[in-house]
């Protein structure tokens, strides 16, 4: 792919009078002008100054933009913690069925029985997979799921009169959303250290655990891709203090049908349906973050939930202890729908095979990467692992980010970089189960080849993409967050610059 097409903004392509979509003539009698229907004080003189383009301008513009993305459909995308597995095409066809796509969220239940049956099924499957019997499908993404669970915890303790439980414990390896959600739910976040094995430091946990602890938020497998071997002891410690255990379900892809959060002592968890059950990630969403909890927490879940009374499905809003809503309408149904289709496609054996293969692929890639990079924590890993480029920094002043940028030249999306925070120069890799051994080998070979390349070349990478090393400091210091007409460039178009030592590759 040569990327010599225009990178003009859609606003710069605008020409007064051009149009794409046209509307039918008004078919109702309309003798009165608009300002007799709506008082002039409410009316704008002009419509918003949107761009004016023809249909082919629009299609070419956005399709050309799309070619400046790496994506699962076009590239290996081992972004750790994001579970970038294949998004089945069948899901898009299923979801487009007007019988689902054209349902209004406020239709009466007797006109949505098929949808409710599906959503009820999804509640049941998620309950079974987590070992936690009560499920709310409402949260719109994982972070909102976390927040919902913490709201539930807050309501539970308030109900019990335990107002003194102000603290939420969060491991230092946790996703940033965990402490952010804790703060937003009105708790004080307290960090618990990891030990040298990358697991929760139980002594530090014990030191910080007290009568004021409300919740321990644990990610298991954790963000280093390691299963917390002491999980049972950890959850027992929390329960002995009357606190709740929350599982960040970002890493469920490792344990489907292998072990269940409810069985290892979690009281609540969220799912990332778009990760584990493969919703399209859409350049940053939509997600879907259902929450599963133990029975004693069920009364506090958001309303409504779907109920089944002998094959008659209904939305149950009558939940007096519910925390209320975290958003409008039912939830990100389109993503739940795809998750349902995925679970039904795989079945119990298939889901287990997903996790087995995800773990096999991760361990294989880990072994290959370890040929040239430090992998600080002992294996086996689960569905992902974290390597470190700190030796390269020390020896050659090449950073983890330089490796990532160079990988783009080889036609691979980069791993997650500089996360988790507990590993310096972290490269967090999650290959997922839908990749082949050949792809994993090609990726590992690229990483090993990059290690041997000139430091200068790496520091200036990528060399084959439309842009290279955007100035992030400038972006933050002089924020330009929208186009304005004054910024229209006058310079003639420039030919694509190609790096001196560009690697031969497809795009």
Partner 1 sequence: MPYLLNTPEDTAAMLARIGAASVDDLFAPVPAGVRLNRPLDIPPALPEMELAAHLRQLAAKNRPAGDLVCFLGGGAYDHFIPAVVDAVAGRGEFYTAYTPYQAEASQGTLQAVFEYQTLMCQLTGLDVANASLYDGGSAVAEAVLMAVGVTGRVGDVLVAETVHPEYRQALHTYAANLNCRVRELPCPDGFLNPDDVKAAVNDQTVCVVAQSPNFFGHLEEMKAIGDAARKAGAVFVASFDPVSAGILKRPGDYGADIAVAEGQGLGVPLGYGGPYLGILACRGDSAYVRKIPGRLVGQTTDRTGKRCWVLTLQTREQHIRREKATSNICTNQGLLALRAAVHLTALGPQGLRETAGLCVRKAHYAADVLTKIPGVSVKFRTPFVKEFTLSVPGDVSTVLAKLRDRGYLGGLPAGRWYPNHSDGLTVAVTEKRTKGEIDGLAAALADVVASRAA
Per CB under 8 A, contacts with partner 1 among 281-310 are: 281-288, 302
Which residues contact residue 168 at a Cβ distance below 8 angstroms, ignoring those fewer than 6 apart?
150, 179, 182, 185, 187, 188, 189, 190, 213, 214, 215, 216, 217
Residue 372 in the binding site for partner 1 (CB under 8 A): no
How near is the Cβ of 213 to partner 1 at its closest, in Å? Answer: 16
**Could you say whether residue 239 binds partner 1 (CB under 8 A)?**
no
Pairing relation of β-strands 426-429 and 385-388? antiparallel
Residue of 181, 213, 269, 276 interacting with partner 1 (CB under 8 A):
181
Over the range 253-283, which residues count as b (16 or more CB within 10 Å of their CB) and which as e? bbbbbeebbbebbbbbbbbbbbbbbbbbbee
Distance CA 381, CA 360 (A): 9
Among 97, 211, 316, 456, interactor with partner 1 by CB under 8 A: 97
Is residue 478 packed enough to be buried (19+ CB in 10 Å), middle (13-18) or exposed (0-12)? exposed
With CB under 8 A as the contact rule, the residue among 481, 486, 495, 504 that binds partner 1 is 481
Minimum separation from the CB atom of position 194 to partner 1 (A): 15
- Distance, in Å, from the CA atom of 62 to the CA atom of 56, rounded to the nearest integer, reads 10
* Between 22 and 395, CB nearer to partner 1: 22
500: contact with partner 1 by CB under 8 A: no
Choosing from 236, 449, 483, 488, the residue that interacts with partner 1 (CB under 8 A) is 483
Candidate list 4, 195, 316, 348; residue touching partner 1; CB under 8 A: 348
Q: Does 26 bind partner 1 (CB under 8 A)?
A: yes
Considering only 200-208, 239-247, 292-300, 326-334, which stretch makes contact with partner 1 by CB under 8 A?
A: 326-334
Distance CA 399, CA 392 (A): 7
Contact between 295 and 134 (Cβ < 8 Å): yes
- For partner 1, the closer of residues 142 and 451 by Cβ is 142
Choices 183-191, 201-209, 241-249, 445-453; region in contact with partner 1 by CB under 8 A: 183-191
Tell me whether residue 115 or residue 205 sits nearer to partner 1 (CB atom): 115
Q: Is residue 445 part of the contact set for partner 1 (CB under 8 A)? A: no
Distance CA 346, CA 339 (A): 11
Our finding on whether 406 is near partner 1 (CB under 8 A) is no
| Residue 502 near partner 1 by CB under 8 A | no
**Between residues 25 and 395, which has the closer beta carbon with respect to partner 1?**
25
Site for partner 1 in 27-56 (CB under 8 A): 27-30, 32, 34, 37-39, 41-44, 46-53, 55
Question: Whole-number minimum distance, CB 422 to partner 1, in Å?
Answer: 13
Residue 442 in contact with partner 1, rule: CB under 8 A: no
If the CB atoms of residues 142 and 376 are measured against partner 1, the closer one turns out to be: 142
Does position 5 bind partner 1 by CB under 8 A? no
Is 455 a binding residue for partner 1 by CB under 8 A? The answer is: no
The stretch among 61-69, 204-212, 386-394, 449-457 that binds partner 1 (CB under 8 A) is: 61-69
Helix (H, G, I), strand (E, B) or coil at 168: strand
Among 207, 242, 316, 324, binds partner 1 (CB under 8 A): 324
112 neighbors 101 (Cβ within 8 angstroms): no
Q: Which residues pair with 472 in a beta bridge?
A: none
| The binder of partner 1 chosen from 162, 356, 374, 445 (CB under 8 A) | 356
Instruction: Report d(CA 83, CA 94) in Å as an integer.
Output: 22
| Residue 346: half-sphere exposure toward Cβ, Cα within 13 Å | 22
Residue 35 three-state SS: helix
Q: Does 501 bind partner 1 (CB under 8 A)?
A: no
Q: Which of 21, 362, 304, 278 is nearest to 137 (CA)?
A: 304
What Cα–Cα distance (Å) separates residue 231 from each residue in 105, 228, 305, 357, 497?
A: 40, 5, 30, 23, 53
> Per CB under 8 A, does 498 bind partner 1?
no
Give CA 347 to chain center in angstroms. 23
Nearer CB in complex with partner 1: 393/466: 466
For residues 436-460, b (16+ Cβ closer than 10 Å) or e, as one string? eeebbebbbebbeebbebeeebbbb
88 near partner 1, judged by CB under 8 A? yes
Does 202 bind partner 1 (CB under 8 A)? Our answer is no
Judged by CB under 8 A, the residue of 309, 395, 472, 506 near partner 1 is 472
Q: Output 69 or 394, the one with its CB closest to partner 1.
A: 69
Least distance (Å) from partner 1 to the CB of residue 290? 12
**Encoding tokens for residue 319?**
């939940």
Question: In the set 76, 125, 156, 277, which binds partner 1 (CB under 8 A)?
Answer: 125
Q: How many residues bind partner 1 (CB under 8 A)?
A: 205
Q: Distance between CA atoms of 292 and 368, rounded to whole angstroms?
A: 37
For residues 418-437, which are near partner 1 according to CB under 8 A? Answer: 419, 433-437
**Which of 176, 242, 424, 493 is in the footprint of partner 1 by CB under 8 A?**
176
Taking the complex as a whole, the smallest distance from the CB of residue 110 to partner 1 amounts, in Å, to: 8
Q: Residue 246, SS3? A: strand
Q: How many CA atoms lie within 13 A of 168 on its CB side?
A: 28
């Amino acid at each position: 792919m040569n990327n010599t097409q225009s990178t003009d903004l859609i606003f710069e392509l605008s020409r007064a009078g051009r149009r794409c979509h046209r509307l039918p003539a008004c078919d109702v009698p309309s003798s009165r002008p608009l300002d007799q229907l709506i008082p002039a004080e409410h009316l704008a003189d002009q419509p918003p100054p949107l761009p004016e383009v023809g249909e082919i301008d629009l299609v070419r513009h956005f399709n050309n933009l799309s070619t400046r993305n790496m994506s699962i459909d076009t590239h290996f995308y081992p972004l750790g913690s994001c579970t970038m597995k294949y998004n089945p095409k069948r899901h898009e066809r299923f979801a487009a069925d007007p019988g689902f796509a054209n349902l209004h969220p406020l239709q009466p239940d007797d006109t949505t029985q098929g949808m409710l049956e599906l959503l009820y099924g999804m509640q049941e499957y998620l309950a079974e997979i987590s070992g936690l019997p009560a499920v709310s499908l409402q949260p719109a993404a994982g972070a909102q799921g976390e927040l919902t669970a913490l709201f539930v915890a807050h309501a539970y303790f308030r109900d019990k009169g335990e107002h003194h439980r102000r603290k939420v414990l969060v491991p230092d390896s946790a996703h940033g959303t965990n402490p952010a959600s804790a703060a937003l739910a009105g708790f004080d976040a307290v960090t618990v250290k990891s030990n040298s094995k990358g697991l929760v430091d139980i002594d530090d946990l014990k030191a910080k655990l007290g009568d004021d602890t409300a919740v321990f938020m644990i990610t298991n497998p954790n963000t280093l891709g390691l299963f917390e071997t002491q999980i049972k002891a950890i959850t027992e410690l929390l329960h002995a203090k009357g606190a709740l255990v929350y599982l960040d379900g970002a890493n469920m892809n490792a344990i489907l049908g292998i072990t269940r959060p409810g069985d290892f002592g979690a009281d609540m968890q969220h799912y990332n349906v778009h990760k584990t059950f493969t919703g399209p990630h859409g350049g940053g969403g939509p997600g879907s973050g259902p929450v599963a909890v133990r029975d004693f927490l069920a009364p506090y879940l958001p309303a409504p939930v779907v109920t089944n009374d002998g094959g008659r499905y209904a939305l149950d809003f009558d939940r007096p202890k519910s925390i209320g809503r975290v958003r409008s309408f039912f939830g990100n149904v389109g993503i739940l729908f795809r998750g349902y289709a995925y679970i039904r496609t795989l079945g119990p054996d298939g889901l287990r095979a997903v996790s087995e293969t995800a773990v096999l692929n991760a361990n294989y890639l880990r072994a290959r990467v370890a040929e040239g990079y430090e992998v600080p924590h002992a294996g086996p890993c689960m569905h992902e692992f974290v390597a470190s480029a700190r030796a390269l920094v020390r020896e050659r002043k090449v950073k983890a980010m330089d490796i990532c940028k160079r990988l783009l030249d080889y036609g691979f999306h980069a791993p997650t970089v500089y996360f988790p925070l507990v590993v310096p120069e972290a490269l967090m890799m999650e290959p997922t189960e839908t990749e082949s051994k050949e792809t994993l080998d090609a990726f590992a070979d690229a990483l090993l080849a990059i290690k041997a390349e000139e430091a200068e070349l790496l520091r200036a990478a990528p060399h084959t993409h439309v842009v290279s090393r955007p100035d992030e400091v400038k972006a933050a210091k002089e924020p330009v967050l929208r186009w304005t007409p004054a910024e229209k460039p006058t310079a003639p178009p420039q030919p694509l610059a190609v790096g001196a030592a560009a690697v031969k590759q497809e795009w």
